[in-house]
């Protein structure tokens, strides 16, 4: 049998590197055909050499010349610029596109892969948030499939197999609660970047780590689940579970609740997306419940984490609001990571944009991208104002 041919968009990131570890262990049935990065050319070149990738793409074209020197002796085709992601995503030579880039920047590529009917293993949740209706429709129309890599959505996808979609009464997304789980709204006023980056359970890229600290990540995941599972917002709940062993749950109409458990290791959902519908021996650490002892659950604190309630509201409203929510967050997180705004300014930026935005209900891709660009500019403008107030 021919090996499954894989393109990893964002191979130098946290998910990308874990995916390569999983693929290493899966053996010759899986072949890396294409790898991409934004600026980390050293690691990308090393990966291209090791996995004999036939294509590499660097989305920041400024690094193309240096990269071509690093891979000059390899039999590899080099692509550069943001559009190179789209080219990789629709390659004839690729069966599975694993999307592990960060942010809405992955949207054109994931749509291109959907149009080609590829198997889409999606870690990159932002495109689903921004253009969930368009993306899921395009996948359906072209005979493709989305296999979730986000751990909660992988858990739901697995638990859903215990019944039919009509038999589901609700889905429950779990969250570790992040580094500020016990904090009050007053406590988070002056948290530092270092504190916000110190996630108690997961080791992830900086953007999603900050999203977890604000709980915007869970808000994005509510919207992601709404589109992925075609589930009304009223049937989606969030439950805080600090141990991060129960990755999410599905309640069926008869009252039975099916959960998926495992040690907190992204290798599990990555592997399941790659081998679905099969299960094979994996590299993730086995769960020993007797070592964990007890599993605890609590309600999320909606006063401290305003982003979470907003996420539900945005999922209900649809249209351009999710694009604005996501873009405002991406831009604000960037400003926070760069030290230009405070932690609490992230949620304020999102609220400001949503209040000022005139939402459209029925939308085209152009309108979504327009809303996205508007929100980013708005946040940058506010960040400059914050700076001048503080100066
Ligand atoms: P990282 O920041 O670790 O990696 C991001 C990857 O995307 C890198 O390869 C990076 O390249 C590339 N990249 C950065 N900016 C761009 C751009 N503008 N265009 C194209 N590529 C770009 O992120 P994570 O791996 O943590 O997260 C990736 C996605 O997966 C996110 O959407 C996140 O929400 C989701 N996710 C992540 C989880 C995790 O455990 N990390 C868990 C669940 C979901 P370079 O290295 O050159 O900068
Ligand atoms: Mg998740």
Q: Tell me what pLDDT residue 388 has.
A: 63
- Residues 331-350 have pLDDT tens digits of 999 999 999 999 999 999 99
Q: Tell me what pLDDT residue 1 has.
A: 82
How is residue 55 written in tokens?
């294509």
Q: What is the distance, to the nearest Å, from the Cα of residue 133 to the centroid of all Cα atoms in its chain? A: 17
Give the ligand whose atoms come closest to the C-alpha of residue 88: 1
Residues 101/56/277/203 CA torsion (nearest 10 deg):
-40
Using the 8-state DSSP alphabet, how is residue 239 labeled?
Answer: E
Using the 8-state DSSP alphabet, how is residue 346 labeled?
Answer: H
The pair phi, psi for residue 32, each rounded to 5°, is -85, 125
Ligand 1 atom 7, closest CA:
101
Q: How far is the CA of 19 from the centre of ligand 1 (A)?
A: 12
**Could you tell me the pTM of the whole model?**
0.97
CA angle 10, 11, 13 (to 5 degrees): 75
Averages of pLDDT over runs of 10 residues in the chain (391 residues) are 95 98 97 98 98 98 98 98 97 98 97 98 98 97 98 98 97 98 96 96 96 98 98 98 98 98 98 98 97 97 97 96 98 97 98 95 92 98 78 52
Cβ(102) – ligand 1 distance below 6 Å: yes
Give the ligand whose atoms come closest to the C-alpha of residue 8: 1
Cβ(38) – ligand 1 distance below 6 Å: yes
Q: Tell me what pLDDT residue 390 has.
A: 60
Contact yes or no for 375/328 (Cβ under 8 A): yes
Q: Tell me what pLDDT residue 363 has.
A: 87
Q: How far is the CA of 76 from the centre of ligand 2 (A)?
A: 33
Place of tokens 């891709």: 365
| Residues linked to residue 97 through DSSP beta bridges, in sequence order | 7, 120
Counting ligand 1 atoms within 8 A of each CB, the residue from 80, 100, 216 with the most, and so the one to mutate, is 100
Q: Tell me what pLDDT residue 104 has.
A: 97
- Residues 98-152 have pLDDT tens digits of 999 999 999 999 999 999 999 999 999 999 999 999 999 999 999 999 999 999 9
The residues, any chain, with a CB within 8 Å of residue 13's CB and separated by 6 or more, are 100, 101, 102, 205
| Calpha distance 157→175 (Å, rounded) | 17
Using the 8-state DSSP alphabet, how is residue 76 labeled?
Answer: -
The CA radius of gyration of the chain, in Å to the nearest whole number, is 20
Helices 306-317, 216-228: inter-axial angle, 10-degree rounding: 30
Residues 17/22/23/25 CA torsion (nearest 10 deg):
130
Cβ(105) – ligand 1 distance below 6 Å: yes
| Calpha distance 343→324 (Å, rounded) | 19
Contact yes or no for 253/169 (Cβ under 8 A): yes
Q: Of all atoms in ligand 1, which is nearest to the CA of residue 203?
A: 40
| Calpha distance 110→96 (Å, rounded) | 11
For the chain, the average pLDDT equals 97
What spatial distance separates the first Cα and last Cα of the chain, rounded to whole Å?
Answer: 64
| Calpha distance 367→244 (Å, rounded) | 37
Q: Tell me what pLDDT residue 391 has.
A: 52
Ligand 1 atom 32, closest CA:
124
Cβ(148) – ligand 1 distance below 6 Å: no
Using the 8-state DSSP alphabet, how is residue 298 labeled?
Answer: B
Contact yes or no for 225/312 (Cβ under 8 A): no
| Calpha distance 247→144 (Å, rounded) | 25
How is residue 125 written in tokens?
């949740």
Counting ligand 1 atoms within 8 A of each CB, the residue from 208, 219, 273, 337 with the most, and so the one to mutate, is 208
């Amino acid at each position: 049998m021919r090996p499954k041919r894989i393109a990893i968009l964002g191979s130098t990131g946290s998910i990308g590197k874990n995916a390569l570890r999983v693929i290493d262990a899966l053996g010759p049935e899986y072949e890396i055909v294409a790898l991409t990065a934004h600026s980390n050319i050293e690691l990308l070149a090393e990966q291209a050499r090791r996995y004999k990738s036939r294509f590499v793409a660097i989305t920041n074209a400024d690094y193309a010349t240096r990269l071509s020197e690093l891979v000059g002796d390899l039999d590899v085709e080099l692509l550069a610029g943001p559009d190179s992601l789209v080219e990789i995503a629709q390659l004839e030579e690729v069966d599975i596109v694993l999307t592990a880039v960060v942010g809405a920047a992955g949207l054109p590529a994931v749509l291109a892969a959907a149009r080609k009917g590829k198997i889409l293993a999606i870690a990159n949740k932002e495109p689903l948030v921004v253009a969930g209706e368009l993306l899921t429709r395009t996948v359906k129309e072209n005979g493709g499939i989305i296999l979730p890599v986000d751990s909660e959505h992988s858990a739901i996808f697995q638990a859903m197999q215990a019944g039919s979609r009509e038999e589901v009464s609700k889905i429950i997304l779990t969250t570790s609660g992040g580094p500020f789980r016990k904090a009050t709204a007053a406590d988070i006023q002056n948290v530092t970047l270092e504190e916000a980056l110190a996630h108690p359970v997961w080791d992830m890229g900086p953007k999603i780590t900050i999203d977890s600290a604000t709980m915007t990540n869970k808000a994005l995941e509510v919207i992601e689940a709404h589109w992925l599972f075609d589930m009304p917002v009223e049937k989606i709940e969030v439950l805080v579970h600090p141990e991060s062993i129960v990755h999410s749950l599905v309640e069926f109409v008869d009252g039975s609740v099916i959960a998926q458990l495992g040690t907190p290791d992204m290798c599990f959902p990555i592997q399941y997306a790659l081998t679905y519908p099969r299960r094979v021996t994996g590299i993730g650490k086995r769960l020993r419940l007797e070592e964990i002892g007890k599993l605890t659950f609590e309600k999320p604190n909606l006063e401290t984490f305003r982003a979470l309630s907003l996420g539900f509201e945005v999922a209900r409203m649809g249209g351009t609001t999710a694009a604005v929510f996501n873009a405002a967050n991406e831009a604000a997180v960037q400003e926070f990571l760069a030290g230009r705004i405070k932690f609490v300014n992230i949620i304020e930026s999102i609220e400001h944009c949503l209040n000022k935005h005139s939402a459209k209900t029925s939308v085209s891709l152009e309108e979504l991208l327009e809303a996205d660009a508007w929100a980013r500019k708005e946040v940058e403008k506010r960040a400059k104002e914050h700076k001048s107030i503080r100066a």
